Amino acid sequence: MLHAARPNFVVIMADDLGYADIGCFGNKTTKTPNLDALAAGGLRFTDFHSNGAVCSPTRAALMTGRYQQRSGIAGVVTAARHREVGLPLEETTFAERLGGAGYATAIFGKWHLGYAKEFNPVRQGFGEFRGYVSGNVDFFSHIDQEGYEDWWKGDALHPEEGYTTHLITKHAVRFIGENKDKPFCLYLPYEPPHYPYQGPGDKAIRAKGDKKGKGERKDIATAYREMVEEMDKGLGEILAALRENGLQQNTLVFFCSDNGANSNGSNGALKGHKGQIWEGGHRVPAIAYWPGRIEAGTRTDATALTMDLYPTMLDAAGMEKDPSLDGISLLPLLAENRPLPGRTVFWDIGKGSAARRGPWKFILSGENEQLFDLSKDIGEENPVENPAIQQELKQALDAWKASWADIPQKS
C-alpha cells in the first residue's frame, strides 16, 4: 500500500548548494554528518534537477508543480527591478492544496517569489511565515541587497535577532512540536550557502539603507564550509524533533537545492555552474527519507525535477492530482522502487535551453545545437552525432516553448 495515514512533509531546500558540496555526494572537506545519515537512512538521487538554474524559477516550479514559465517566473525576481512582481495569486500552490485538506502549513526561510505584501506566503496557502522575501539577506542584520529590512512574521516586517540559519531551525523545531497531533507540511528554504558569506561566528556587514555592506570575509571557502555545516546541524535538530515527537515513521523528509553551485562551491564532475544550461547549473543533490517506507541506503539514477515534489505530496496524502501539473509523483519510486514513466523534460534559462529524455540531452544556445549522452559523458565534454534523436528532442523543445510562448514573463 502506497498511502500512509495523513503523512507529514518536510521539504528542505538549500540555496546554491552544488552537486558535490556535501559528504554523501563526495565532498571530503565539509562535514555534513546529518545529511550523510539522511542519505544512509533513505534514498539518494544521482539525477535530480532544479527546474531553473537560478533561485526564483525553481521555487515557482516547486510551489505550482508546473514549469515556472507557466506562472511567468522565468527569471530571478530581483530586489532592484522586480519589487512589484510575484507568483500570481491565481496559481494554486501545494500549500493551498494541503492546507485545504486540513494540513498545518508553514514556511521558514527564503520566499523570493514576491516582495509586495500581496504575494506574501500567507496569501499563498501558508499558515505561518517567518523569514525573508528577497534573494538574500545579511545573516545577522537581515538587510537585503538593496538595503531594505527583510525579516517577516506573516505579511508584516518583524525584526528578530539571530543568525538566519539558527532562526529557521528554531521555528521549524517549534512548529513540529506545536503540530505533532495533526498532519503538517513544513517548507524550509535555508539561506546557505548563498552569499553574503557569513559563518555563525561572524558579524553583520549590511545596515539599513546600505546597498554595498562592509567587512565581508575574504576567506570565502572557509565561510562557505561553515555555512553548510551549520545548516547540517539544523537538519540534525529537525530530525531529532521528529523522533522526540514520535513522528519519524510518518514523515517524508526531502532535501534538495534550488540550483547548482556558483564558482565558490563544487559541482564535482559536472560542467558549468549556477545560471548555466550545463548540468552544473541544475543537477543538484537530493535525498528522500521516510523510515519504514523508503528503503535505507538506496540510490536511484531516475531523472526527477523540483516540480515533482508537489504531485508526490498529493499522492502520499491520498489526494487527487491536478491534471494541469507538469510534475509527476515520485511516490511509486520512493515507496516501492518502481521505475518512473518515461518522459521528456525541459529547461530554458534565456541564454540557452535543453531537452532531456533518458540519457540524451539536447542543448540549444543561439544557433548552436549539441547532443550529449549523459550515461557516458556526465561532464558534457563530447557532443555526439545522432540526427534522429537530436531532431526528436529539438521538436519536443520547440513544442514545449510554444506551450507557454503567450504567457508574459514578469522576471
pLDDT in tens, 213-254: 888 888 999 999 999 999 999 999 999 999 999 999 999 999
User: With bands split at pLDDT 50, 70 and 90, how would you rate the model's confidence at 14?
Assistant: very high
User: With bands split at pLDDT 50, 70 and 90, how would you rate the model's confidence at 80?
Assistant: confident
As a whole number of angstroms, the distance between CA 274 and CA 59 comes to 15
As a whole number of angstroms, the distance between CA 124 and CA 315 comes to 21
Q: Is residue 283 part of a domain?
A: yes
The angle, 0 to 180 degrees and rounded to 10, between the axes of the packed helices 220-244 and 33-40 is 50
| Same-domain check for residues 270 and 371 | no
Buried b (16+ CB within 10 A) or exposed e, 204-237: bbbeeeeeebeebbeeeeebbbbbbbbbbbbbbe
**408: exposed, middle or buried (Cβ count in 10 Å: 0-12, 13-18, 19+):** exposed
* Mean pLDDT within 371-396: 99
| Same-domain check for residues 147 and 242 | yes
Q: What is the pLDDT of residue 215?
A: 81
Q: Is residue 393 part of a domain?
A: yes
As a whole number of angstroms, the distance between CA 125 and CA 67 comes to 19
User: With bands split at pLDDT 50, 70 and 90, how would you rate the model's confidence at 90?
Assistant: very high
Strands 184-189 and 104-110: parallel
Q: Which of 364, 346, 276 is nearest to 68 (CA)?
A: 346
As a whole number of angstroms, the distance between CA 336 and CA 1 comes to 9
| Same-domain check for residues 325 and 397 | no
| Same-domain check for residues 367 and 337 | no
Domain count, the chain: 2
**Looking at the predicted structure, is the pLDDT value of residue 4 above 50?**
no
Maximum CA extent, the chain: 59
* Mean pLDDT within 49-65: 99
Q: For residue 211, which phi and psi values (nearest 5 degrees)? A: -85, -25
| Same-domain check for residues 251 and 397 | no
Share of the chain above pLDDT 70, in %: 99
Q: For 97, left (φ over 0), alpha (ψ -120 to 50), or beta?
A: alpha
**Looking at the predicted structure, is the pLDDT value of residue 78 above 70?**
yes
pLDDT in tens, 133-147: 999 999 999 999 999
**Looking at the predicted structure, is the pLDDT value of residue 1 above 80?**
no
* Mean pLDDT within 64-88: 95
* Mean pLDDT within 14-42: 99
| Same-domain check for residues 319 and 386 | no
Q: What is the pLDDT of residue 212?
A: 79
The residue ranking higher by pLDDT, 12 or 78, is 12
Tell which of 315, 342, 369 closes a domain. 342
pLDDT in tens, 294-344: 999 999 999 999 999 999 999 999 999 899 999 999 999 999 999 999 999
Q: Is residue 209 part of a domain?
A: yes
User: With bands split at pLDDT 50, 70 and 90, how would you rate the model's confidence at 40?
Assistant: very high
**Looking at the predicted structure, is the pLDDT value of residue 91 above 90?**
yes
Q: What is the pLDDT of residue 129?
A: 99
pLDDT in tens, 96-109: 999 999 999 999 99
pLDDT in tens, 272-289: 999 999 999 999 999 999
Q: Is residue 151 part of a domain?
A: yes
Q: Is residue 409 part of a domain?
A: no
**Looking at the predicted structure, is the pLDDT value of residue 371 above 80?**
yes
| Same-domain check for residues 352 and 285 | no
Tell which of 322, 342, 362 closes a domain. 342
**Looking at the predicted structure, is the pLDDT value of residue 5 above 80?**
no
| Same-domain check for residues 359 and 241 | no
| Same-domain check for residues 223 and 354 | no
Strands in 203-250 per DSSP E: none
Mean pLDDT of the chain: 97
- Chain-centroid distance, C-alpha 40: 21
Q: Which domain holds residue 400?
A: 348-404
User: With bands split at pLDDT 50, 70 and 90, how would you rate the model's confidence at 2?
Assistant: very low
Q: What is the pLDDT of residue 351?
A: 87
> Is 204 within 8 Å of 138 (Cβ atoms)?
yes
* Residues designated as active site: 55, 112
Q: What is the pLDDT of residue 307?
A: 99
| Residue 283 grid coordinates | 543537477
pLDDT in tens, 162-210: 999 999 999 999 999 999 999 999 999 999 999 999 999 999 999 999 8
Q: What is the pLDDT of residue 221?
A: 97
User: Cell numbers 534537477 label which residue?
Assistant: 49
| Same-domain check for residues 291 and 392 | no
| Same-domain check for residues 317 and 361 | no
Q: What is the pLDDT of residue 217?
A: 87
